[in-house]
Amino acid sequence: MQSWHYQTIINASQNGHTLRQYMRNDILIPKTIYHALRVQRAMTLNGHYQSVNNVVHTGDKINLTFTAADFNKRQPHYVPDNTRQIPILYENKDLLVANKPAGIKTHPNQPYETGTLMNYLTAYLAQAPYIVHRLDMATSGAILVAKNPVVVPILNRLLSQKKITRQYFAWVHGHLPSQGTINLAIGRDIADKRKRQVAGIQAVNAVTHYQSIKQTPTATLLAVWLETGRTHQIRVHFSYYDHPLIGDPLYDPKALQFSRLLLHSAKMHLLLPFSLQPINIKAPTPTDFYPLSINDNKPR
């Protein structure tokens, strides 16, 4: 059976915690997996199985062994596709951050579909990766992918706790205040199943923060942060105020004048699982994100 081995070292901020606190709160091991490690005695403190009530000290070594049986998430299956090289922005043994091109889907919707990010990464890794979050097909930029099931729930918890954050660049039509927050629930569009709308069907809370970077006579370049991660959230929020994202095939009436949706996942702040080492990653913006008809100066 496939297994994954990790050794971590207690740091000063974790000194004095119980082994249980360290596992559950410090390195975010989910309850069910923590229970499996206990039952199998697959976690040791300084080389020996210890009570989870034991206090850990700076420099102590924790060894963890996970097996495929610990996870109810099955190994994904994607058809490998080596017809395209995807730029890799960061990679270690557990995860990678890719710079997704605009115009390709994050994952296939049919069993034998190819041409998506997951297909290309399956060929690159020689194994199927695990989806942590998604980018719309028309959106480019940094996207986080897990290489094994061990780190998937940890990354999900880091995302939900806002310890992994992303910043987007977006061009919108018209002019906006220098900064602001949009707090409007988003649900399914009543008339078009492809779309979402403010106060739509089964609407859920959605919060978007933005800051203006540059204005031209007809458009504004924004830096955008999401407090929530709803489908089409940035696109729906700005289109609701009559400032749709430029080139948006669903929400911009002038989309056909542009070659692509001008939305890019530009920066990611990431805490690495287990070590919680902070990593800041930038995704270079593609040249077609700055059409001369809008702007000829890129933000730094």
26-51 tens-digit pLDDT: 999 999 999 999 999 999 999 999 99
CA distance to 2, 28, 156, 187, per residue, from 265 (Å): 34, 26, 18, 23
Q: What is the mean pLDDT of residues 193-213?
A: 96
What type of residue sits at position 294?
Answer: I
Q: Rounded to whole angstroms, how far apart are CA atoms 178 and 210? A: 8
pTM for this model (two decimals) = 0.91
Q: What is the mean pLDDT of the chain?
A: 94
Q: What does the buried/exposed string (b/e) look like for 54-89 if buried means 16 or more CB atoms within 10 Å of the residue's CB?
A: eebeeebebbbebeeebbeeeeeebbbbeeeebeeb
Largest Cα–Cα distance of the chain, in whole Å? 68
β partners of residue 32: none
Q: Rounded to whole angstroms, how far apart are CA atoms 206 and 183? A: 6
Domains (range + CATH), the chain? 3-70 (3.10.290.10), 165-266 (3.30.2350.10)
The DSSP secondary-structure symbol of 255 reads: G
Q: Is 194 helix (H, G, I), strand (E, B) or coil?
A: coil
Sort 238 into a burial class: Cβ within 10 Å, 0-12 / 13-18 / 19+. buried
CA distance to 35, 120, 159, per residue, from 164 (Å): 26, 24, 5
Cα–Cα nearest to 95, from 294, 268, 292 = 268
- Active-site annotation holds for 81: no
Name the active-site residue from 70, 136, 248, 252: 136
Which residue, chain included where needed, has tokens 């975010």? 28
Q: What is the mean pLDDT of residues 180-207?
A: 96
211-242 tens-digit pLDDT: 999 999 999 999 999 999 999 999 999 999 99
Residue 243: pLDDT band (50, 70, 90) is very high
